[in-house]
Amino acid sequence: MLFHRKKTAAPVRPAYDPAEKTPVIRCSICTGEQVAGFRRKADGKFEELMLLRGPADLEAFRARYGVEGEIEKIY
């Protein structure tokens, strides 16, 4: 039965529109955990996209979404 399983589609990533969203990194004061995502300019809601474990993850986030320049950190 395992041979004919259907593959599940990868989750769709939200499109990045600089006019509507700002790239930010949310940092935890207690644990130091960092999560990259986008904050909507209209209402300030944060969308989590990627856990950052090191500089390579941050570069992968920048490459995937075409983010350039400094990224704001929020706590």
| 6-62 confidence digits (pLDDT tens) | 777 666 666 678 899 999 999 999 999 999 999 999 999 999 999 999 999 999 999
* Predicted pLDDT at 49: 92
* Predicted pLDDT at 9: 67
For the cut 80, the answer to whether the pLDDT of residue 3 exceeds it is no
For the cut 70, the answer to whether the pLDDT of residue 1 exceeds it is no
User: Please, are residues 2 and 53 in contact by the beta-carbon 8 Å criterion?
Assistant: no
* Predicted pLDDT at 15: 67
The H-or-E segment that residue 63 falls in is: helix 55-65
